[in-house]
Amino acid sequence: MTRAESSLPDLATPSAVLLVKRGTCNRARSACNKIRRAGLVACVAFLSGNGLHASTSAAEPNADPAFDAETLEHFQALVRMDTTDPPGREVEAAEYLAKVLREAGINTEIVALEPHRPNVIARIPGNDSRKPLLLMAHTDTVNIDPAKWSFPPFSAARDGGYIYGRGTVDDKDNVVAALMTMLTLKRAGTPLDRDVIFLAESGEEGTTRVGIQYVVENHFDKIDAEYCLAEGGGVTRENGRVTSASIQTMEKSPRAIELIARGPAGHGSVPLEDNAVVHLSAAVARVAAWRTPIRLNETTRTYFERLAAIAPPEQAQNYRDILHPDPAVQARADAWFRTREPRHASVIRTSISPTMINGGYRVNVIPSEAKATLDTRLEPSEDPEAFLEQVRGVVNDPSIEVNWAPRDLRPRGSSSIATEAFALLEAEFERHYGAPTLPTMSTGATDMAYLRARGIQCYGIGPAIDVEDGAKGFGAHSDQERILESELYRFARFHLDAVRALAASAPTP
């Protein structure tokens, strides 16, 4: 899963503002007791004309050198394991995790569809007064081109405050954060209201049948939970300063549309009106130029409301305008997004990107067939078959077939922002990062989709990443990958405190 999609536009950073959606005051107040257990000194909410705002003077909790040292030890060990998918071979990472967890006295088992691609499930029992909390992260990574790396991609080299290696931000950061949370809870003997489960899964980067699909279909009772924390969100830094945090609550559904144009074959020296390549090219151009309808939901509306509250004036106006009831006002904001912030243009609709074209085999032969594939990301409420009919209408060419192409289909679902878990995560982001929180819908896909379809409320989180890194070629799925060492430690501490807030029993008065 790519994390570049979680990057936010340039923002003016308030000193420390926790933004809470209007109408969620009760859940914010009900979370206060839990938040205090995590060490927050205040939980203040008050209603404004446009929403709820709570202000605190947050400071990052004190570092624990021993905790950080162990985090680094496990992180480097895992990054040094080549678990690229394909071919996978997550077995080394799974065995490492299982060994560490078992040595700590944590009940751990390995389940696998294929022996070299196992999944690790560990559980710390609570008092069963509440349903479990699931921590999920994947041990596989995308592939690499060694020639493009400044440091060996599986070296976990430390240089200039960074740790370099494939998986450093996708997703071995979450793996290690969850591991350290489990180890700390167990060693401290923390009383828990709910079981805490850790699923280290394989196959997220394209082979879900060996990972989340296999676990959900065959071992769901071992991971069933009320809430799940996984990848998909994060914290944005610009010029070395945190600007905002994001919690992923939903994601688009990836599909593929195939266009097939057919016509007579012929010699290239004699142009033909029914040239399949020409018809296909025109069809691709029409689809690419088509502006699919704007579709907003609870998450995206709240996202733009909150973003407008912290953005510079020009950006803030466009974030407000995209929510405007006047279609003409919305259209102007949409046009601004397309040229300035294309990720936001995708967030507000079902998107289509032409990605592959195939046709012809010789320069002097007009082919009888040409194909194009369109990467399609459906907004969760979109009717797939109705949308495909709309695409056929846009193509409007009887010589071209328009159909779904084969692709792994993920179930659709979303998580509410009106839950105790969301409020507690907001509070922990404020405490650790002093950052406002934005609920987000990912344009990419995560394995949380399979859990949401089973009724688990899932929330994507992640460490702080510099927006400047993307342009430099660093990031998830990029030529290179790195994480700030200090931000790895901060995220691990945030993760631990968030789990404590969600799962720890209230102290006896």
Give the amino acid at 418.
Answer: A
Same domain, 233 and 327: no
pLDDT of 466 over the 90 cut: yes
CA distances from 99 to 47, 205, 390 (A): 50, 24, 53
Q: Quote the percentage of the chain above a pLDDT of 90.
A: 83
Same domain, 166 and 91: yes
Question: Pick from 449, 440, 446: which is nearest to 476 by CA?
Answer: 446
pLDDT of 242 over the 80 cut: yes
Same domain, 245 and 329: no
Give the amino acid at 44.
Answer: V
Give the least confident one: 249-253, 335-339, 470-474: 470-474
Same domain, 133 and 216: yes
Q: What is the mean pLDDT of residues 468-476?
A: 90
Give the least confident one: 21-25, 98-102, 256-260, 350-354: 21-25
pLDDT tens digits, residue range 314-343? 999 999 999 999 999 999 999 999 999 999
Final residue belonging to a domain, choices 350, 382, 404: 404
Q: At 248, phi and psi to the nearest 5?
A: -80, 125
pLDDT confidence band for 507 (50 / 70 / 90): confident
Same domain, 287 and 238: no
pTM of the model: 0.85
The per-residue pLDDT for 471 is: 87
Same domain, 242 and 377: no
Q: Quote the percentage of the chain above a pLDDT of 70.
A: 87
Contact 262, 399 (CB under 8 A): yes
The per-residue pLDDT for 308 is: 97
Question: Pick from 313, 119, 124: which is nearest to 210 by CA?
Answer: 119
pLDDT confidence band for 47 (50 / 70 / 90): very low
**CB environment 320-333: b (16+ within 10 A), e (fewer):** bbbbeeeeeebebb
Give the least confident one: 17-21, 261-265, 376-380, 437-441: 17-21
Same domain, 239 and 267: no
C-alpha triplet 183, 187, 190: angle, nearest 5°: 100
pLDDT tens digits, residue range 140-188? 999 999 999 999 999 999 999 999 999 999 999 999 999 999 999 999 9
Same domain, 397 and 428: no
Instruction: Flag whether 7 is in a domain.
Output: no
pLDDT of 6 over the 50 cut: no
pLDDT tens digits, residue range 177-232? 999 999 999 999 999 999 999 999 999 998 999 999 999 999 999 999 999 999 99
Tokens 């969620």 map to which residue? 24
Q: Provide the number of structural domains found in the chain.
A: 2
Measured in whole angstroms, how far is the alpha carbon of residue 397 from the centre of its chain? 37
Instruction: Please report which helix (H) or strand (E) contains residue 315, including its range.
Output: helix 313-321
pLDDT tens digits, residue range 385-428? 999 999 999 999 999 999 999 998 889 889 999 999 999 999 99
pLDDT confidence band for 60 (50 / 70 / 90): low
The per-residue pLDDT for 141 is: 95
The per-residue pLDDT for 206 is: 85
Same domain, 372 and 417: no
Whether the bond between 86 and the residue before it is cis, its omega within 30 degrees of 0, is yes
User: What CATH number does the domain containing 350 carry?
Assistant: 3.30.70.360
Give the amino acid at 406.
Answer: P
Q: What is the mean pLDDT of residues 369-380?
A: 97
Q: Structure tokens of 509?
A: 């008065």
Same domain, 140 and 224: yes
DSSP per position, 150-215: SS-TTS-EEETTEEESTTTTTTHHHHHHHHHHHHHHHHHT--BSS-EEEEEES-TTT-GGGTHHHH
Contact 395, 259 (CB under 8 A): yes
DSSP strands (E only) in 89-132: 107-111, 119-124
Same domain, 220 and 267: no
Instruction: Flag whether 126 is in a domain.
Output: yes
Q: What is the mean pLDDT of residues 464-474?
A: 92
Final residue belonging to a domain, choices 342, 372, 404: 404
Structural domain for 129, as ranges: 65-250+412-503
The per-residue pLDDT for 393 is: 98
Final residue belonging to a domain, choices 384, 404, 424: 404
Same domain, 284 and 142: no
The per-residue pLDDT for 61 is: 67
Contact 319, 426 (CB under 8 A): no
Sign of the alpha-carbon dihedral angle for 229, 233, 237, 242: negative
Q: At 151, phi and psi to the nearest 5?
A: -120, 150
The per-residue pLDDT for 13 is: 32
The per-residue pLDDT for 18 is: 33
pLDDT of 306 over the 90 cut: yes
Q: At 154, phi and psi to the nearest 5?
A: -120, 30
The per-residue pLDDT for 26 is: 39
pLDDT confidence band for 7 (50 / 70 / 90): very low
Instruction: Flag whether 59 is in a domain.
Output: no
pLDDT tens digits, residue range 83-93? 999 998 999 99
User: What CATH number does the domain containing 152 carry?
Assistant: 3.40.630.10
